[in-house]
Each structure stands twice: as structure tokens, then as C-alpha cells.
Structure 1
């Protein structure tokens, strides 16, 4: 069983149970040994005390018999002698019983040796007493007294001294036994102290092991938390333990994995944002360049339309001069009958040219109308497309096509008007030559003057329509200027988005996952600094947009449309934009 897999609660309870068990064992063993020693000492000391008491009683009985023997030796009363003898016999029997009891007891070698000495001395004393009593009984008191003095008393003294020596020996045994049991009790105290010391040492060792088993995983968890706080998510976390610290390590491992996943997601998101913002900014730059070129082309178109207006006005002036010349020529029309016919033919050709001019003006009028419609569509498409502006490129292409048709029509108008001027000059010369013959065709000349007046009126209408075209082109140029400003704002927003993506990437760069640091240096951004379009003399005049355009742009700024894929993922529109740009370059 691996102790590391035990729960912390189990370890603590197991430690407490082991300590309690050890204490119970030590206390129980000490109590058992103490009770056993007390019982054994009480038993042994009781035997020794009983033996001492028996020895003292034996000595007392011996002293009593010695006194009786002395009295018997000195008495002359037969009755007293008989009583003394009977008492001595009874005491002797008691002494023999006591001696037998002591000899049957558990004696040491010294005790048995001393008992042999006592038995020998008693035997001598009994023999001397028996001899003295016999001499006394036989009527020889002097001999009996001599035996008492010479044999009985020394034997009695030796007998009593051996008894006293036995008592002294028993007292020494009693004291030695007491000292032995006291020493055993002291040894038990020492043993108990040693066991308690070992128990304390074991408790300290167990506490140190328990503290180490708690502190080591806590230090490991603290180090892991510190590394996670420092951004290192690449370390491997051991989750093999099954205790509370194993649960803590598993939680730290889950947190580490979750943080690593989140950091990787943030890193991928910042990469995607940086790439998308770079491509958006690049697209805005391209759109700004195309808008700049469109504005330049519109300015060139406006300049061409100004020249066309001047030419039409010049044609109208020439037509008025032709009318004046026709009025002057009416006085000499009678002299140029034949020449007048040529003038009539010439004027018919001028009339045909005027009709063609009228048709061309109609085409220009239609173009102007379509230009207005397309300009409105361009504003709507620009508002819908937002930052992409793809629809505006298509509308701009159509505007370019209509502008080309307008230019071609203007060129044809110019050529026809030049032809009309030439023919009018020729007709004037013919009228001058045929002035003498024009009297009879005054009415015809007046009709010619009326036709020229119509030409003048048509030229005025053409000039008015061309002025409308110029105004439409001016409005379109103004909207182009505003689109350029919006493109600049979009480029600035894309640049700000890229900067924020870089800051976010730098914020997560401190984290390490799988041993690799998230570094922005590994993802250098493209140079997408937006270039402000130079719009020539119209840039300063970028006045507020028309109300319809402002209304369409404001909601787009307040509520952005759904994000579209990055420009790099859609090569087809990029190619279309490049084609449109090449078309503008050929305008």
C-alpha cells in the first residue's frame, strides 16, 4: 500500500490511532508489570515475614524451655517438676512443629545451612537437658547442676545464638527482597521512561514525515501556481496521487490545460485579427488609390465637359452671326438667284447637321439621365457594401462607360458644328456673291434665318443640358471625395484594430504552452500604413455629403454589418478590382 495514496484525513486519524495505541501499550505494560511485581513482592515478603515471626516464636519457646529447665533443676517439688516436664514436652513439640514448618518452606542454601546448625545445636541442647533431667531424677542434683552449668547452658546459648543468626539472616533476606523489588520498580520506571522516549521520538519522526508529506506537495503546488502566475503553462503536472493533494494537482492540471487552450485560442484569434486587419487596411489603401484615380478622371471629365460647353456656346454665337448675315444678305438676295439656290442647298445641309446635333444632344441627355441614376445606385451600393465597396467599383465602371460615350458624342458634336461653321461660311460667301440676285428670294432667306434661329435655340438647350451634366459630374466628384474620406476612416480603424491585436498578442506573449513562447516577433505585421489620397484642388472642397448619402452612411457606421472573410481568402474580387483599376487607367 502506497502511503502517498492515502487521504490526508486517513493519515491524520491513523497517526492519532497509532499514538493512542502506543500510549495504551506502554501504559498497559507498565501497569501489568507494576501489578505483577507488587503481587510477587507481597507474596515473597509475606513468606519472609511469616518465617521471621515463626523464628521469633521458636526462639521465645526455646527461651521458655530454658527457663523451665533452670526451674526444674532448682525445684524440689515433685508436682512442680511433673508440671514443668509436661510443659517442656509440649513446648518441645511446638518447637519441632515450627522447625518442621520452616524446613519445609522454600529456603535458600544459606537458610538450609543455618537450619542445620540450629538442628545440631538443638540436638546438643536436648541431650544436655535430658542428661541433667536424668541426673536430677536419679537423685543426683549436684551432677545435674554441673551438667546444666557445663553442658546445657553452653548448648542453650549456642542454640539460641543460631536461632538469632537465622532471624538475622531472614531479616537480611527480607531487606534484600525489598531492595530487589524496589530496584525492579526503578528499572520498570526506567523502562517506561525509555519506552515513552521512544514513543516521543516515534511521534516526532511520524510528525516530521506527516509534515513533509503535507508540505512537499503544498510546495510543489505553490511552485506550480507561481509558474502559472508567471505565464509558464508548459510544465507537466504529476496527477498520480490519490489523496487531497492529488485532487489539488488534478485541479491545477485542469486549470493549466484550460489556460493553455484559452491562450492558444487568443493567439490564433489575434493572428486572424491581425491578418484580417492587415488585409482590410491593404484593401482600403487599394480602394483609396482607385478612388483617387476616379476623382482625377472625374476632374478630367469635368474639364472636357467645360471645353465642350465653350465649343457649343461658340457654335451658338456663330449661328447668331449667321442669322445676322442672312438678314443682311436678304437685301442682295435678288442678285444671286443661282447663288441662292446653292445657299439653299447649303442651308439644307446645315439643317441636316443641326438635326444630327439635335439627335446627339438627345443621346447626351439620355446619358446624363442614366448618369444620375447610376450615381444614385453608386451611393446606395457604397452604403450597403460598407468597407468593401465592391458594388461601387461596378457602378464606377458604368459611369466610366457613359462618360466615354459622352466624350465621343461631344467629339461628334464638335466635328458637326465645325462642319456647320464651314458650310455656313461658304453659304455666306455664296450669298455675298449672289446678293444682286436675292431680291426675289427674300422669303427664302428669312426661312433660312428662322432655321438658323432654331439652330441657335437648340445650341442653347444643348449648353443647358451640358451644364446639368457638369453639375452631375461635380456631385459625383463630391461623393467620391466623401468616399475617399470614409476610406481613410476605415483604414484608420483597421490600423487601430491591428494595433489592438498586437497589444493583445503582446499581453498573451508572456504565456508559454508546450515549451514555446507566444512572441509577436514571430508574426511581423505587413506594412499597411494607409496613404491619404491626394485629390488635387477638390480635396479642400470635400463638403458635407448630400442628405441621402449621409442618411445611408450613418446607420452603417452606427451598426456595422456582419464581418466578411478576409480579403486574402477571396482572390476573385481582388482580380476584379485590379481589372477595374486597369480600366480606370485607360479612361
Structure 2
């Protein structure tokens, strides 16, 4: 089993213990909560209702006494109210009660409460006040005292029952706490024991492996005791340690043999490196002569390539300039075509604008005619108002002459005169507005006529510009065609020059290649000569390193 699985099992056991303790605590807390809920929600309410019954029993007795002493009907009404309240409280207690003995006591109190109500009603049937008082003292008051006494006893019994419930809850809490403490102590002890066993199981083989690692670090590769019974990762680690020790032992054996062979080979290499260095010096002298002649030929070829490159670059710039001019000319022609189309569209829009302005001028003329007609009508209304004012004035004079018989007519004449004055004022205001409108219509008509003349001039100017754009468009088309022909010819010449330049560059490249290779050979011979010297020195150094390696390998203790 792996270490991870062992740890998982340990943690799972601890988790199971925690879950068991938590479940036990939860069940006990639910039981405790139910008990407290019963105390608070049922028993406390029942006790409160019993207190109400006590109070209402006393209130009934006092209210009936008050009625007998004072004859106050309100006291009698309070008695009936207290009786009803006591009955309702007893009914609530009866619904919540689950004890047969308590239910019997409650039913007895309900009977007594009903008997008090019935007895009180029967006593009131007597006509003599003295007889009513005697009956109340003999029959009603003893019943009321009996109810009060029974209610007191029942309340005391319920209070004792509640106190017993509280004591039971406290005992349950103490029992739960005791059980939880015991469970926690047991779980803690089990966890500590499991941790100790797990640590001991893991630490012993690790100590053995640590000692083995220290032995290897000290250079001792002899077999050591790594027997581990664990079948987990620690057991695999012990096997790997033993394999590593064995592999290192074999490696040191091989290194020792290789160091001896290396020492012998380095001595032989030193002797052969000296002979190779002498031959390389003769080869370097011959290669140097070939290099000097190749450099002279390469310089002449480079000058020819430079001249051809300059000529090809000039032709390439001419071709590029011709192509750029052709592109610009084509773009200009496209812009001229677009501008020509926009100009034609503008001519159409100006014509539409001219027609709209002419229509507006005709409509303004009609408005001017209508305003003149309205002005004439307003003058007629003003004249009618003046005539009506004169007629109302004459009517008022005639009414004044008629005396009392003409008073009503005088009032009508006065109202007519006021109406004619208001009509005259309104007509004058309308006439002033019409006059202002006529002036504005006249100004707008002149403005519109001026706009018509300006639109005619604009149409003529745009048509002339359209003709000029047509001529420019034709000329641009011819220019673009000629420029494109020049650009094509320039590109052909440039392509020919590039082919010539490529041929010359190929010749120069071959010459440079030859020169470069001879230089490379010369440099290579020089480098080879230097390498031979370095090889000789390295062989001597390698011989010394082989001796050092042999000494280092001898530090390890092997079987």
C-alpha cells in the first residue's frame, strides 16, 4: 500500500470519528431543541392562559360585587366579559394539553365558569335587591371562590411541571456535554496513537536510507544494509538506492580503465601532432601564392559590376517613375470622371431648385392676393363696427328720452356699443397684422425673384463648367494611354538591363568565389597549422588530466 493511501485511510478514519461525534451532537441538540420548544411554545403559553383564568375569575367576583353594591350595568358587563375571556383561555389550554388529568381539571373549570354565568343570570331574575344579594352570597360567591382556588392549584401544578421540564433539560445538557467530552478525548487519543504509529512506520526506513546516502557521499560504494519491509514508495526508494550504488560502482570501474587508456592515447597524439604541423607549413606557402592572383581578377570584375549596377538602377528609376506617373494620370482621370458626374448631378439639382423657387414665388404671389382680399374684408368689418357704434349711441339717446320704459333698451344699446367697439379694435389689430404680412410677403417675393435670377446664372455657369470638364476628360484619357505606353517601354528596357547586370554579377560572383575559396584555403591551412600546435598542447594537457582523473577515481572504495 502506498504512503498516500495510508494517509488517506488515516484521514478517513479521523473524518469518520468527527462525523460520528457531529451526528451524535446533532441528534442530541435536536432533542434538546424540541424540549425547549415545548417549554416555550406550549407550556409557557398554557401557564400564561392559566394566569389569565385566575385573573378573570377574580375579575368576575369583583365585578358582580360592584354590581350588587352600586347597581352599575357596566360592572355586570365586565363580569360577562371576564367570564367569556376565562372560557376562551380554558379552551386554548384544553387544545394544547396532552395529559388526561389536566384535561379533566380544565373541563371542571369550564363547568364552574359556565355555572357562574348561569347562576348570575338566574339571580338577576329576582325582583328584590335583598333577595339577589342573599342568593349571590349563598350560591354565586362560593362558586367563584371555588373556581379561583381551582385555577390557583392548576397554575401551581403547571408551574411545577415547567420547573421539572427545565430541570430535565439541564440534566440532558449535562449528559450531552459529558458524552461529547468523552468522545473527543477518545478521538484525540486514537488520532495521537495513529500519528505515532504512522511516524514510526515512516521514519525508521528513512533513517536507514539517510545513512546510506551519507556513505555514498563519503565515497564508499561498498554494499550496505538497506533492507526495508515497506511495500510503499519508501521500499521503492530503498531498491533505487541499491541500484544507484551498484551503477556508481560499475561507473567508477569503467572510469578507471578509461583514464589509463586516455593517458596512453594522449602520448601517441602528441607525437603525431608534431609531424602534421610540419606538413601544414609547406601547404600554407603554396596556397598564399594562388590567393594573390585571385584577388587581382576579383577587383576588375567588381568594377564592371558597379558600372552595370548604376546603369540598371537608373533604368529602374525611370521605369518606376513612368509607372508612378501612369498611376497618377489614371487616378486623375478617375477623379475627373467622378467630378464630371457630380457636376451633371449638380446641374440637375440646380434645375430642381430653380423650379422649387419659382413655385414658391407663385405661391407668395397668391398669398399677397389673399392678404389684400382679407384687408378689404377687415375694412368692411371696421366700417360695420363704426356704423353699429353710431346706431347704439342713437338707440341710447332714444332710450333716455323714453324714460323708464326705455331702460331695458338702453342696456341693450350699451352692450351693442361695447361689442361694436371691441369689434372695431379687433378689426384694427387684424388690419395691422395683415399690413405687416403684406410687407413680409413683398420682401420674400423680391428675395425669391433674386434667387431665381441667381439660379439661372448658376445653371449657365455649371453648364459651361460641364463642357470644360468634358474636354479635360478626353485629354486626360489620351494622356493616360500615352503614359502607359511609355511606362511599358521603360519596363522592357529595365528588364533587359537587369538581365545584363545579372550575367555580369554571376561572373563577379564566380571570381569572388574563387578568390574567397583560395583565401579560405589559406586561412584554413593557417588555422590547421595553429590547430596542430594547439592539438599538441592539448594532448600534453590531456595526459595530465588523465593522471588527475585516475587519482580522483582511486578516492572511491569499491568491491
Instruction: Give 1 or 2: higher helix fraction.
Output: 2
Q: TM-score, normalised by structure 1?
A: 0.36
Q: TM-score, normalised by structure 2?
A: 0.38
Say which one has the larger Rg.
Answer: 1
